[in-house]
Chains A and B, each alone.
Chain A
Amino acid sequence: MWREYSSGYLKNNRSAAVSVMTAAFISSLLLSLLSCQFYNMWKYEVERLRAEGDQYALMAMYLVRDANDEAPRLVFPLFLLIMGLASFSLIVIIHNAFAVSMQARIHQFGILSSIGATPRQIRTCLLQEAAYLCAAPILLGTLLGIAGSMGLLALLEMLAQEIEGRRASVFGYHPLILLCTLLITAITIGISAWIPARKLSVMTPLEAIKNTRELEPRRKCNSPLLSLIFGVEGELAGNALRVQRKALRTASVSLLLSMTAFALMQCFFTLSEISTRETYFEKYQDAWDIMVTVKDTGIGSFGEAEKLRQIPGVDDVIVYQKAQAKSLLSEENLSGEMRANGGFFHDSGKYVERDGEFFRVSAPIVVMDDASFLAYCEAIGALQRTDGAVIRNLICDVTNPDFRHPQYMPYIKEAGTTRLVARTGGVAAEMSVSDCAETAEIPVIAYTEEVPVLREEYATIDKYELVHFVPASLWREIERRTGGAEEDTFIRILCREGVSLEELDTIQGEIEKNLAGAYTTESENRIREYETNDEKIQGMLLVLGTFCVLLALIGLGNVFSNALGFVRQRKREFARYLSVGMTPGELRKMFCIEAFALVARPMLWAAVVAVLAVGAMLKASYMNPAEFLAEAPFVPIGAFVLSVGGTVALAYYLSWRRMRGMDLAEVLRDDTMM
């Protein structure tokens, strides 16, 4: 009997099933995607550990733990936590889709209950229906989730292929994962269906027949804003939405979350893009075209600079190595402005070490090939010598937290020499200043505000850095005393202005060919890096945007099912309006207002959250709001909202078309509609 009852209902009420099927499909898709991603994460770790021969860690990946191994193994707990959270969130969101479909038949269940159907029978009937409706969407969602995971992995692999030393990740799947995914999905959807089924099955027959829970408001409804803007139709639409609040909860929550997430994501990426462009791409636009890192090679051992300068298309080559030392300064060495600004008073001891009357500050050394150093001296109007250093004599006002608009002042008084000592561990570092026989005291060729054209940042974290530029020939003499040289040497290459990506690729290839064999090198070019960065951002936007769309789809499924189903459920309500003289045009207006309010409400909340979040981000990043506004992602957010709005409008248009055919007299005659 129940089987016939259910199949008859489902056959004649396809729209009621749409929301349930959509919810099941999207839930299984998300859970399958997550399981598959985690399995591949686990597989990647196992393969990596196997290659590295770390047997203990490998055993731990199979949940075999050494009693003495206290290292945390996060993959499984993280998987369980995220799956648990995902399942819980889905239950919260989708159980309402089941509730709407079930609520539509409260009256019928009331009748069945009044003739002796037990709550258990009603519950079983509802759960069997849910299982029947969800079986195909779950399978489809699971398969698409696997396909989606495969695509996502390929995308991530493409984006991460540039990362040095990373193993390639190959997609894999296991039947056990399929079983686990199906089990988790079944439990999630089962709980979502069971919650409303239980509520409905325990209603008294009278309650169910009268169906008072759903149709009438418990409290007075007020929709002052809609009423003010749209008049009586606005008030009725607002009240109707309020009465349907429960039925539309899935839609409201998921539309709110998806719009908020989408707006925040777009704003965050726009801000981040502007920031990266300003602080990196635009700042170093003219500072480099190709960068080569020569691995494990000191500048003294690299002799190919001239050869590189001869490569067609290359305009300028600077070979340089970085080193870290300390500089010894006394209060008297500081510039008047620096002293007036408190000297080293603002440092808590983190960056500046006090040593008697002296201060040790970080002294990054940029060792440049002699030719480049001489060209640099010429460019800044200093004597062209290779026996001394050029010092960047700038310090920013550390009391000004606006890192985007720093204010600079001269750091030290100009003098003939500068004293460098080893940064750590060296002999000089352990001696007091007076004992520093090994201190490298070198002549200063010039103090300057202009730095060589390199893709380097100075004094960004440690504001007290005193940067020294020295020629390679001088470095050979002082290297033993100061030490602190980094392992690699860098080559900065500039090409002609307006060089194309193809030209850069060709020159880069030529450089690699010239250095191959003798050196281990890594190289990158500016335009390709910009494009790769752009692709990475687009990739992340795509992945996160997909999640937002999936979230919105749950809500839209609910809107469709509700809008297409409510013609049946709300016939009496519409008949009432028509019977007191509301025209079809006014009823249509009411439909439009309902659809509008359904989209406008989450849109407004999302806008409020986005404005607050962007305000906070702008404040934290010291970015000018006008800069953000000029590039604010109005178009993608507008397109997303319009798509959601368009889909909601379509749902309401279709229900309006159904409603138009309603026979008012028949509805008013039908007492069971009460």
Chain B
Amino acid sequence: MNILTCEGVSKVYGSGDNRVVALAGIDLKVDRGEFVAITGASGSGKSTLLHILGSVDKPTGGRVTVEGTDLSELNQTRAAIFRRRKVGLVYQFYNLIPTLTVRKNILMPLTLDKKKPNEAYFEEVVKTLGLSERLEALPNQLSGGQQQRVAIARSLIYRPALLLADEPTGNLDQKNSGEIMDMLKLSNRNMKQTIVLITHDEKIALEADRIITIEDGRIVGDERRR
């Protein structure tokens, strides 16, 4: 069953001589529980695609549907609520809120919705990600790997339809990169979490069930590995 559908998605920046086509007619379907890696060279359009999937950016043309919601129809407020509830975003530079503790960072999407967390699920997430001991620390008191785990925990706390990760290991050493990938795989297998991962690292991409390659804003490869 498709959780994500892209139909002819395009994104163009600028106009005239400065016109840059970042995405040129992307058609893509992702099933629930799939772990998809999108690879491509720098500037190929993979981050633009991820931002569109996360409703952070809007396509110039085409249609993106996540769990039946057409993202192009969302205004700013509804897009924000969509991000809060349906999408977990993980970035290379973590994007944690530096003034909040690890616990509050993780619970942020729920807090914005004025919802109380499911304590058992919260415990499960933080335990799985090895954060139980650091819940009262501030982000700048953690290592890069730990910060990325907090970002993953935050993206999972709302049990989103889609976890979008943009080069989540790009800022980490090999050991931490391996750990983060293990966490993502674990959440994919144990929690049936749909994951779309963006990376330019082939080794990382090989960890996914499916590898989509983008070049000049077009999908040039779609390989199902499992």
User: In the complex the two chains form, is A215's CB within 8 Å of B98's CB?
Assistant: yes
Q: Mark A199-222, 1 if CB is under 8 A from B, else 0.
A: 000000000000010011100110
**Interface residue ranges of A559-602 to B (CB < 8 Å):** 572-573, 575-586
Judge if B19 is at the interface, Cβ distance under 8 Å. no
Q: Which residues of B contact A263 (CB under 8 A)?
A: none
Q: A585-B77, A664-B57, A668-B56 are in contact. Are A580 and B109 (CB under 8 A)?
A: yes
State which of B48, B51, B95 has its C-beta within 8 Å of the C-beta of A576: B95
Q: Mark B64-75, 1 if CB is under 8 A from A, else 0.
A: 000000000000
Q: Which residues of A contact B93 (CB under 8 A)?
A: 671, 674
Q: A579-B95, A664-B57 are in contact. Are A232 and B89 (CB under 8 A)?
A: no
The segment out of B80-88, B125-133, B216-224 that lies at the interface is B80-88
Q: How far is the CB of B61 from chain A (nearest CB, A)?
A: 16
User: In the complex the two chains form, is A579's CB within 8 Å of B98's CB?
Assistant: no
Q: Is chain A's binding surface mostly helix, strand, loop or mixed? A: helix
Q: Complex formed: what's the CA distance from A418 to B7 in Å?
A: 117
Number of interface residues of B (CB under 8 A): 37
Judge if B111 is at the interface, Cβ distance under 8 Å. yes
CB nearest neighbor in A for B170: A671
Judge if A176 is at the interface, Cβ distance under 8 Å. no
Q: Complex formed: what's the CA distance from A585 to B79 in Å?
A: 12
Q: A215-B98, A221-B99, A586-B112 are in contact. Are A580 and B138 (CB under 8 A)?
A: no
Q: Complex formed: what's the CA distance from A668 to B48 in Å?
A: 11
Q: How far is the CB of B11 from chain A (nearest CB, A)?
A: 10
Judge if A239 is at the interface, Cβ distance under 8 Å. yes
Q: Which residues of B contact A509 (CB under 8 A)?
A: none
Judge if B225 is at the interface, Cβ distance under 8 Å. no
Q: Which residues of A contact B109 (CB under 8 A)?
A: 580-581
Q: A242-B99, A668-B51, A668-B56 are in contact. Are A217 and B77 (CB under 8 A)?
A: no
Q: Complex formed: what's the CA distance from A19 to B223 in Å?
A: 57
Judge if B76 is at the interface, Cβ distance under 8 Å. yes
Q: Which residues of B contact A668 (CB under 8 A)?
A: 51, 56, 91, 95
User: In the complex the two chains form, is A581's CB within 8 Å of B95's CB?
Assistant: no
Q: Complex formed: what's the CA distance from A586 to B104 in Å?
A: 17
Q: Which residues of B contact A576 (CB under 8 A)?
A: 95-97
State which of B56, B82, B99 has its C-beta within 8 Å of the C-beta of A239: B99
Q: Which residues of B contact A586 (CB under 8 A)?
A: 80, 112
Q: Complex formed: what's the CA distance from A232 to B108 in Å?
A: 8
Q: Complex formed: what's the CA distance from A646 to B111 in Å?
A: 30
User: In the complex the two chains form, is A217's CB within 8 Å of B99's CB?
Assistant: yes
User: In the complex the two chains form, is B95's CB within 8 Å of A669's CB?
Assistant: no
Judge if B140 is at the interface, Cβ distance under 8 Å. yes
State which of A236, A583, A671 has its C-beta within 8 Å of the C-beta of B81: A583
List 17 A-B pairs, Cβ < 8 Å.
A217-B98, A217-B140, A220-B136, A231-B111, A232-B112, A235-B104, A240-B99, A243-B98, A576-B96, A579-B56, A579-B83, A580-B84, A581-B81, A583-B81, A586-B80, A664-B56, A665-B51
- On B, residues with C-beta under 8 Å from A are 47-48, 51, 54, 56-57, 76-77, 80-85, 89, 91-93, 95-101, 104, 108-109, 111-114, 136, 138-140, 154
A581-B83, A582-B112, A586-B112 known; 10 new pairs, CB 8 Å cut-off, are: A216-B139, A232-B112, A240-B99, A578-B80, A579-B89, A581-B85, A581-B112, A584-B77, A665-B48, A669-B47
- On A, residues with C-beta under 8 Å from B are 212, 215-217, 220-221, 231-232, 235-236, 239-240, 242-243, 572-573, 575-586, 664-665, 668-669, 671, 674
The 6 closest A-B pairs by CB, nearest first: A581-B84, A239-B99, A665-B57, A583-B80, A581-B83, A665-B51
